[in-house]
Structure 1
């Protein structure tokens, strides 16, 4: 909105002002006459008497004043909320709309429009708010209220009437601000809290004073929350204030009672709290820090919130009821912090004021000690569990021999007891010589030294059972550790006999596959799709170069080049087929095209079976074959089956299929269709005079002319000889309109077919001759709707109408008329 438009937009509740902003100060350029009604001042008060408008802005809103006075242009309109002191001393809430622009001859001009916030009252009348809160506002003991973006009441509970003057019912508050119903001191405090909400705070809360209509001072826990619209813009706020006067008074009593012991209670090492009816009425700084709350948040909090377990709360509850008889001392109770984390405390309680039922509690954080104890126990349990549950042999070896072993060791090495095993020498567990030819004892000693120097050492080793002497290959991990101040080795032995056999069988199978794949007419592959979406071909035969122009090495890490070769029209469906196969673990079967400069476009067929791999991957094993020749044959067969060989028009079979589809479509859309049967007039003399080759040229040209007269959704077919059929689909829902549309197209066809034909006849070695020939067409038209009649009946109607056109003198159009019409 331009400045002039802003100046012209004046209501009885708004005033416009213009200022010249200078580094030395401000100069008033213009003031509306409505200033007297709004703030109680005249224009001369600002221009002649030197009254500074910005001095009238509330001290807490000087941040807004600084924005208005900033020597920086503001071309777009900006809306702000602030308060001004009126001439009568009262505070008025305003909405300001301003713009700042430079004018070459003048300087930086500020245009400000101020509107009484109460005149902009916007009721929060959405059905959800009304249905959910009306009952609550009528019956709640809390003070509940709603305000719009300009700090104006739009709803309130009846309880708020006791604090506001003048008002008898909560409806009296609607359209007013705090400054209309509260003393200024209190209204200032409430307004400051609301500014936090409108600046984006998810909640603004504060313990504040209240003054009821009888002059009694109390306290409330005042909390305000933003209300946002569908665009997440703040349009108002919701507030709820709970009377905590009794709690505050009790707290003051306790604070007075504990004044002499304050130094002790405020220690940073021990948390202290006083409770009444198992609710906190006071807590020291150490307790607040320990539990992660502010001291204000602790006031009034039920003790149950702090317990991690219900059984502990109930247990202490029993003792709490007997506090007047004996103190409570309880160790290691698990509590909850504000952020949900847990801590262990040791606490004790004693009765402080029997008459008021106030008790004093001390809490000491013992989490560190508790966690250390738990960690030690868990570590011991974990080690013992892993030690005994491992399927691998786990052995502890010291300088003097074996120290311990697990049950798997006895099974793998064929020994009956741990005691018996620990009497054996390490050399007894190995074959005399290792596969490399080295002496086992000498090589083992070297490995032990390496493990102690490096921390761990892994090696394959030829082991031997103690009972049968049978040798077996093993993978051995040596790890150095300190046990009872002595460096020992933990030896983990895994029997890899089966793994070695699998490696041998896998290598043999791989050799067989490679030999077989060389003779397979296609590309054998393994395709891997990882959980992160990346893919590759871990194995593929060299035929991949023929199909995709890439080598097997190029696709081992990424399949991007393969997918880049797929025809762009087919790629989306190929990706969908991969995803479907992945999700359902069903075969991946897809025909698609690839492009290459050397071979052009090829048709390929992929057929593969999926299986789940490790880490969320899916792996396909399959075959890709070249089906280009098959697709060509299918296309030829399709052409012969459904199209006329001479004219390439639809044949009788395809026309009937499309006519059935058109009738089904007509049933859904209630649109008419039409069938035309055309017979060329005077065609036979051309065949008799010049032969069938020349007649065929005319039929081809006639087919082309008819095709140009219809839409893409229509069908032109040849039934044989010089008889053609045109089917019009999706005409109007009105029969008369549809008949007119069909007639227009028929006339166009009739006119175009009647134009002369110039047929070029090749004479072999002689010069070509051009034969000029004229013939017309007789056209019969039948309209159809729905499936009321069969396609054969519709064709017969059109055929009958065509013969009527012949009998009427040819080169005419006749519509079929049923006997019922």
Structure 2
């Protein structure tokens, strides 16, 4: 008996079908190898468990149990299909053929179910049914006219053999009437000369796409786009033509051409540069002002990537990624961007500053591109630079004023603290300068101040600052002083430079200066303290006879 069971198990495992043996309570007795491979469950995982515990989907549980109950009641053989749920969650459609083994009393003892996985077959059948149904729906309910006619190499197209409902309504012919006509009878644009060319294309490539004009019974002309395909119908070569009414498109194209003409007329008078991109960032329009500012003509940039043409670099030469370009961002985000300052590159490679507004273009509820209007802000930038310079520099001498000096002193003190450096602040004014103004006039006095300022700048390094505080008072900031004695060296250079004779017009002038010196951190650690102490030292130098310097630390 054991050998017989082993033989039966081996047979069940070698056959290609799914075999499941159930007792009359639905528990699994046998679960062959094909079942294991399909479901992912081993026989050990299934034997002794009700078949519906793991393999059935919830919505089929009741129908399957009802079928099983009928089998146990003696209604066999039977065939049905149901889904099996595999261990990894996949669904497989199984076609079952069921029979039963009876006990000595004629009662059902075991149910034997033999199954085939028909998932792919059912999918193909469903797809075929769906395809046929969709073809019928598309043919008669689509938005395009469909016409079918025979074709033979070297011959004119034959009469229509089929037409859908829309073709009949559009042309105002019955299907029977259309079957007495050929494409040449309803076409006003494709001549007999064109037919062989189109036919050859269909013959070689299997399809052709072209525009034409259909003529209805009442003479109405309907512009159409025809997508023609060659195929075999009952062994006969035919052409299926899908004719799309493009009346609205043609009207829209005409309106667009008119709109573009108006746009060019309007924008040609504007001073702002204007350009338009499609949704791929390619330039489709550029006005005269943009051509003038960029140095490119519209013809040179049409269809080109606008960002890579003139918005690809920063003033420092680094690259501007396209994802950082506001004009491109407006296409993808639908937002409007207002940029106060950016840079475009001319055709000759020079950069110029611009401000611009970029906004998305919409058509039919979709973003179709972006439009940008830009201005050359070179003059504005220059004006801002002049204003900034005036706010921070002395109008007469061009030296930094007290505002800029204060900023540089704060920064220099912070660095001196950080790196443990000495810092020198030198105050000086010209001795008896008022007498020159009173006797020779302010014009001579002003020229004298400018000459002194130039000499002071020559006495210091580029990193140092010479500032005019007002009147004849100057301040020198030495942010990096190696040792205290270096401050005295600079003071002596200043005194010597100022002492040299000056020719102002016809006047040879001899002047002197009094200098006060304060060092950080010895003479103060804060801005106001240093300035006050340097000023105090300067006045002590005046009191000591002028034309000399005084260290605050030696007062």
State the distance in 1 between where 2:203 and 2:348 align. Answer: 61
Of the three residues 96, 103, 106, the one matched with 1:347 is 96
- 1:234-383 superposed matches below 5 A: 258-262=5-9, 264-274=11-21, 283-289=31-37, 291=38, 293=40, 297-301=42-46, 307=55, 309-317=57-65, 324-326=72-74, 329-336=78-85, 342-348=91-97, 360-383=112-135
State the distance in 2 between where 1:814 and 1:353 align. Answer: 124
1:477 aligned onto 2:227: yes
Q: Cα–Cα, structure 1 residues 279 and 473, in superposed 2: closer, same or farther, change >3 Å?
A: same
State the distance in 1 between where 2:322 and 2:230 align. Answer: 54
State the distance in 2 between where 1:311 and 1:432 align. Answer: 56
Per-residue CA distance 1:324-346 (angstroms, 9 max, x = gap): 54468452223355676543211
Does structure 1 conserve the Cα–Cα contact (< 8 Å) formed by 2:336 and 2:358? no
Identify the residue that residue 491 of structure 1 maps to in structure 2: 241
Per-residue CA distance 1:81-107 (angstroms, 9 max, x = gap): xxxxxxxxxxxxxxxxxxxxxxxxxxx
SS at match of 2:320: helix
1:696 aligned onto 2:450: yes
Q: Cα–Cα, structure 1 residues 574 and 635, in superposed 2: closer, same or farther, change >3 Å?
A: farther
Q: CA deviation at 1:662?
A: 12
Does structure 2 conserve the Cα–Cα contact (< 8 Å) formed by 1:275 and 1:359? yes
SS at match of 2:45: coil
State the distance in 2 between where 1:373 and 1:655 align. Answer: 88
Identify the residue that residue 393 of structure 1 maps to in structure 2: 145
- 1:467-546 superposed matches below 5 A: 468-483=218-233, 489-513=239-263, 521=271, 523-528=273-278, 530=280, 535-540=281-286, 544=291
Give the TM-score normalised by structure 1. 0.49
Q: CA deviation at 1:516?
A: 5.9
1:651 aligned onto 2:365: no
Q: Cα–Cα, structure 1 residues 745 and 698, in superposed 2: closer, same or farther, change >3 Å?
A: farther
- 1:62-81 superposed matches below 5 A: none
SS at match of 2:341: strand
Of the three residues 428, 439, 453, the one matched with 1:680 is 428
State the distance in 2 between where 1:649 and 1:314 align. Answer: 97
1:591 aligned onto 2:336: no
Structure 2 alignment gaps of length 5 or more:
104-108, 151-157, 543-548
State the distance in 2 between where 1:650 and 1:281 align. Answer: 101
Q: CA deviation at 1:493?
A: 2.3
Further displaced range: 307-316 or 768-777: 768-777
Of the three residues 413, 434, 437, the one matched with 2:171 is 413
Identify the residue that residue 63 of structure 1 maps to in structure 2: none
SS at match of 1:775: strand
Q: Cα–Cα, structure 1 residues 410 and 463, in superposed 2: closer, same or farther, change >3 Å?
A: same
Q: Cα–Cα, structure 1 residues 682 and 541, in superposed 2: closer, same or farther, change >3 Å?
A: closer
Of the three residues 769, 776, 799, the one matched with 2:515 is 776
- 1:77-88 superposed matches below 5 A: none
Q: CA deviation at 1:640?
A: 1.4
Q: CA deviation at 1:683?
A: 3.9
- 1:128-277 superposed matches below 5 A: 258-262=5-9, 264-274=11-21
Q: CA deviation at 1:776?
A: 0.7
Per-residue CA distance 1:235-282 (angstroms, 9 max, x = gap): xxxxxxxxxxxxxxxxxx9x8663343464234331223568877675
Identify the residue that residue 547 of structure 1 maps to in structure 2: 294
Q: CA deviation at 1:750?
A: 7.0
SS at match of 1:602: strand
State the distance in 2 between where 1:722 and 1:745 align. Answer: 28
SS at match of 1:474: strand
SS at match of 1:272: strand
SS at match of 2:390: helix
State the distance in 1 between where 2:398 and 2:298 align. Answer: 43
Does structure 2 conserve the Cα–Cα contact (< 8 Å) formed by 1:563 and 1:571? no
Per-residue CA distance 1:673-706 (angstroms, 9 max, x = gap): xx99964255444983994433333345546768
Identify the residue that residue 491 of structure 2 maps to in structure 1: 753
SS at match of 2:514: coil
State the distance in 2 between where 1:321 and 1:528 align. Answer: 68
State the distance in 1 between where 2:186 and 2:72 align. Answer: 81
Identify the residue that residue 45 of structure 1 maps to in structure 2: none
State the distance in 2 between where 1:727 and 1:315 align. Answer: 98
Structure 1 alignment gaps of length 5 or more:
1-252, 730-740, 785-793, 816-821
Per-residue CA distance 1:178-218 (angstroms, 9 max, x = gap): xxxxxxxxxxxxxxxxxxxxxxxxxxxxxxxxxxxxxxxxx
State the distance in 2 between where 1:757 and 1:593 align. Answer: 48
Q: CA deviation at 1:378?
A: 0.6
Q: CA deviation at 1:480?
A: 4.0
Per-residue CA distance 1:413-467 (angstroms, 9 max, x = gap): 356xxxx44345665998888357x5xxx6898799669856444443332334x
Higher-RCO chain (CA-CA 8 Å, sequence separation at least 6)? 2
Q: Cα–Cα, structure 1 residues 564 and 622, in superposed 2: closer, same or farther, change >3 Å?
A: closer
Q: CA deviation at 1:392?
A: 1.7
State the distance in 2 between where 1:383 and 1:618 align. Answer: 33
State the distance in 2 between where 1:748 and 1:328 align. Answer: 116
State the distance in 2 between where 1:519 and 1:305 align. Answer: 81
State the distance in 2 between where 1:573 and 1:270 align. Answer: 61
Does structure 2 conserve the Cα–Cα contact (< 8 Å) formed by 1:680 and 1:723? yes
Identify the residue that residue 215 of structure 2 maps to in structure 1: 464
Q: Cα–Cα, structure 1 residues 307 and 771, in superposed 2: closer, same or farther, change >3 Å?
A: farther
Q: Cα–Cα, structure 1 residues 698 and 498, in superposed 2: closer, same or farther, change >3 Å?
A: same
State the distance in 1 between where 2:424 and 2:265 align. Answer: 64
Q: Cα–Cα, structure 1 residues 292 and 470, in superposed 2: closer, same or farther, change >3 Å?
A: same
Further displaced range: 395-404 or 375-384: 395-404
Does structure 2 conserve the Cα–Cα contact (< 8 Å) formed by 1:683 and 1:775? yes
Q: Cα–Cα, structure 1 residues 581 and 495, in superposed 2: closer, same or farther, change >3 Å?
A: closer
Per-residue CA distance 1:45-99 (angstroms, 9 max, x = gap): xxxxxxxxxxxxxxxxxxxxxxxxxxxxxxxxxxxxxxxxxxxxxxxxxxxxxxx
Q: Cα–Cα, structure 1 residues 625 and 799, in superposed 2: closer, same or farther, change >3 Å?
A: closer
SS at match of 1:477: strand
Q: Cα–Cα, structure 1 residues 491 and 527, in superposed 2: closer, same or farther, change >3 Å?
A: closer
Q: Cα–Cα, structure 1 residues 473 and 482, in superposed 2: closer, same or farther, change >3 Å?
A: same
Q: CA deviation at 1:405?
A: 1.7
Q: Cα–Cα, structure 1 residues 691 and 652, in superposed 2: closer, same or farther, change >3 Å?
A: closer
- 1:663-678 superposed matches below 5 A: none
Q: Cα–Cα, structure 1 residues 549 and 377, in superposed 2: closer, same or farther, change >3 Å?
A: closer
Q: Cα–Cα, structure 1 residues 404 and 702, in superposed 2: closer, same or farther, change >3 Å?
A: same
User: What is the aligned residue count?
Assistant: 511
State the distance in 2 between where 1:717 and 1:318 align. Answer: 104
